[in-house]
Amino acid sequence: MEFAPWHWLVVLGVAVLLFGGKKLPELGKGMGEGLRGFKEGMKGIGGGGDDAAAEEARKKDAEAKAYAEAKAAAEAKVAAEARLAAEQKAAAERQEVTRS
């Protein structure tokens, strides 16, 4: 027995009645993540020799991410210090103008 398009519509209607329209996207996302995890697990079982290369790639990615985060933090600190200096300079100029 094959499913006709109206069979799928009935199944979809029942799913909407059971779970509600707001819950269906969450269920789909969870199912997709589960399938993705299953596929990755199956790759790990059959891969054997690729584990070392995959681990090295993950390590390099982690190092690159840490470097990028540290660089962004340093740039944000410099920008914050520059903004603070500019605000202090503007405040001093306003005080000077009010004294005059």
CA distance 86 to 75: 16
To 10 degrees, what angle do helices 23-47 and 5-19 make? 110
pTM of the model: 0.41
pLDDT over threshold 70, residue 1:
no
Distance of CA 78 to the CA centre of its chain: 26
Q: Kindly report, residue by residue over 31-81, the tens digit of the pLDDT.
A: 889 999 888 888 877 655 567 778 888 999 999 999 999 999 999 999 999
pLDDT at position 4:
85
How big is the chain, counted in residues?
A: 100
